[in-house]
Amino acid sequence: MHDIGFIRDLALVMLVAGATSILFQRLRLPVLPGYMLAGVVIGPHTPGVLITDPRTISDISNLGVVLLMFTLGLEFSVRKLRQVGGTLLLVTVFEVGFMLWVGYQLGLLFGWGGRNALFLGAIVALSSTMVATRTLTENGLRQWPFARLVVGMLVAEDMLTIVLLTLLTAIAIRGAVQPVAAFALVGHLGLFVVAGMIVGLLLLPRLVDYVARFDRDETLLVSVLGICFGASLLAAWLGFSVALGAFLAGAVVAEARSAPRVVHLVEPLRDMFAALFFVAIGLKIDPAQLVHYALPAVLIALTVMVGKSVVCGAGMFFIGHDARTSLRTGLCMAQIGEFSFVIATLGVTLGAVSDFIYPTAVAAALICMIASPYLLRSADSLARAGRRIVPRPLRLLMTSYSGWLENLRPVDDNAVLAAMFRRLLWHIAVNVALIVTLFVIGAYINAHNAAWFERWGWSRDIRHSVIWALALFLSLPLLIAVYRKAEALGMLLAELGIRERFAGAYTQAIRQVLAKLIPLATLVALAILVSVLGSAILPPRGVALSLVAACVVLAILLWRGLVKMHARLQAALRETLEKPSPVDHK
């Protein structure tokens, strides 16, 4: 019987999940909280326990995390991130930062200590993609304008989650993060995420499309799941969360032309993965402990629902959306979910937080999940109540503010110039990220392979010189691209910013100076950035200056070839990222 222990426990989980789904559908209640309650019922802390093996519970939980994060990654894509927009991203960053601070202060108010409070802040900062999208779908609101805002904020939150997971892992392992350690961790994060995404976008979508041409569903499904688990193992090997690797794998596969077919194949498994994940959450909960911390859980849930509704709603209004749309957006974001559970599990598993954090977070999430559909349905009632409460002069001011922002939106010629400006900034940002990644890779190799270099008889200075030179020369096409894009940006800003009625006869001269200053300033800033990033592998001053001089000479001699090389790489990425959006499979 021992040999089938895992299968027996997995079968029990799926049986109780199926029964729960039927029961809660009949009662017209949200199913996800039902899965969690079912996990409590069959878990090791309940009389008449059915599942007791801690390793089995951990394995089921990890399996659910990996598969659920992969399916969430499939719904996310780099194209969607680009479509989020700067203002929406800014609102999301402010919302996550504010809720992180509120959760931290709430934890300190409870007397839980610094690390517990920090993890609590991270838990309440993130909304649930699955709960929000299910709430929209079940209420028939997926095509409403505010739903697109909700999806955009969820996409932006997913990217911020990567940063939180990385830094919290460091805090869990080391107890605290010093500035130098934090910088190194962010560098390793950049190495894994940026390099992994770039390499993945160049290779994996083409691989998935190649497999799809066999026209065998089982081959395609097995292949993409292999990519999922392979990315999870790579993330774990590099010291990151398996959830992070699975999510990034899904995001890369989502860029394939055959992504709608992959999503169609994964859809039957997605609900099973969700059931597995949320039942596994319930398996870890001790009801006695849950009762003991019921009051903090209720206060946390109320803080999340009020805080997120107000902050997200106010943010949407300030970037130009009407009050009703802003209110609906805020109410739909008012919950915590799957990534929060991953963060709580991370803290408990690594011994960074007290045991009560997990059941408290789950109880708060359970309250938010149950309340989420009813909050969204009450949007119109709350809007009418607010209209009666808000004084008429304030309503007039709010309407005038929305109209003023509407007039500032780029139209006609301004829209074309704004699009050119955004495209140039986007190209510069991507190239700078790649340059940073190359030097971070060099620092990583230097830090983890010093003994290997010593066996070859290389001194510290020789090792640093070779690694730094390789990073610099490999960055050469990217540096040239940054200079050329900055030069075009300078010309655009010069034409827009210097008007003849102000500069008179000096207009052209000033424009030429400004057009040259911007790319030069960009290169100076980039040189400072590279110097800081490469400080761990910086060679002696004389060697560094010689390498820079040699790099300049090579750039002059090989300018055209390097430009063509970068153009090919850019074309390959553009083919992946800017292809027509595939039609969703019905």
Tens of pLDDT, residue by residue, the chain (586 residues): 445 667 777 788 788 888 888 887 777 777 777 888 888 877 777 766 666 666 766 677 677 778 777 877 777 666 665 655 667 777 888 888 888 888 888 988 888 887 888 888 888 888 887 778 777 877 777 778 788 788 778 877 877 777 777 677 666 655 554 545 555 555 566 566 666 677 777 788 888 888 888 888 888 888 888 888 888 888 777 767 777 788 888 888 888 888 888 888 887 777 777 777 778 777 777 777 777 788 888 999 999 999 998 888 888 888 777 778 888 888 888 888 777 877 887 777 777 788 788 888 888 888 888 888 888 888 878 877 777 787 777 766 666 566 545 544 554 555 566 667 667 777 777 777 777 777 777 776 776 666 777 777 777 777 777 877 888 888 788 888 887 878 777 777 666 555 555 555 656 766 677 677 777 887 777 777 666 666 667 777 777 778 778 877 877 777 777 777 777 776 666 666 555 544 444 3
For the beta carbon of residue 143, count every other beta carbon within 10 angstroms. Answer: 8
Structural tokens at position 272: 């099973």
CA atoms within 13 A on the CB side of 16: 24
Q: What H or E segment, with its residue span, contains residue 137?
A: helix 129-138
CA atoms within 13 A on the CB side of 359: 20
Closest CA to 126 of 249, 291, 243: 243
CATH code: domain 2-377 is 1.20.1530.20
Residue 257 contacts residue 578 (beta carbons within 8 Å) = no
For the beta carbon of residue 144, count every other beta carbon within 10 angstroms. Answer: 14
Angle between helices 217-237 and 196-212 (to 10 degrees): 160
Name the region of 320 (left: φ>0; alpha: ψ -120 to 50; beta: rest).
left
Find where tokens 């700078």 sit.
Answer: 432
Q: What are phi and psi of 285, to 5 degrees?
A: -95, 135
Domain with CATH 1.20.1530.20 in the chain: 2-377
Structural tokens at position 241: 């969360």
